[in-house]
Amino acid sequence: MKRKILVVNGPNLNLLGEREPEIYGAQTLSELNQWLSDSVNDAELTFFQSNHEGEIVDFLQEQRHNCDGLVINPGGLTHYSISLRDAIAGCQLTAVEVHISDIYSREAFRQVSLIKDVCIAQISGHGSAGYLEAIELLIRHLSKNSA
């Protein structure tokens, strides 16, 4: 059975490939999404990106009964969004938090995640490959817990 997984990207991730490529790499968000689609055969991926916290919360609420899990890169929302944290918890989404850069080797304010405690795992600093790792981890977790 193919799992339905949401892949959600927060503010400024639409600028991947342009914004600070020395930190986030040269791959665009569109290229990342295509690479994930091509690489993942045992899940149906639905991609969403927004620069607006409320739009992400609305999307998660709308999709909560249509998916098996969530891979989320909250971007800057990681560090302050109680609303996003509450949406993930309130929708009872099995989630993995992912960050392209290593948030723990960056500025002090970036080292705080309000999201990680409502996720089963956090992957940070593995570049674009972190998304694939997160999807694979999520699929394994869902398979193990449905057996």
As given in the structure block, the two tokens for residue 18 are: 């342009």
Give catalytic status of residue 24 as yes or no.
yes
As given in the structure block, the two tokens for residue 105 are: 């080797």
Q: What are the residues whose beta carbons fall under 8 Å from the beta carbon of 54, sequence distance 6 or more?
A: 83
Active-site residue (options: 65, 79, 80, 99): 99
Contact 112, 85 (CB under 8 A): no
Active-site residue (options: 24, 52, 104, 131): 24
Give catalytic status of residue 99 as yes or no.
yes
* Catalytic residue positions, numbered: 24, 99
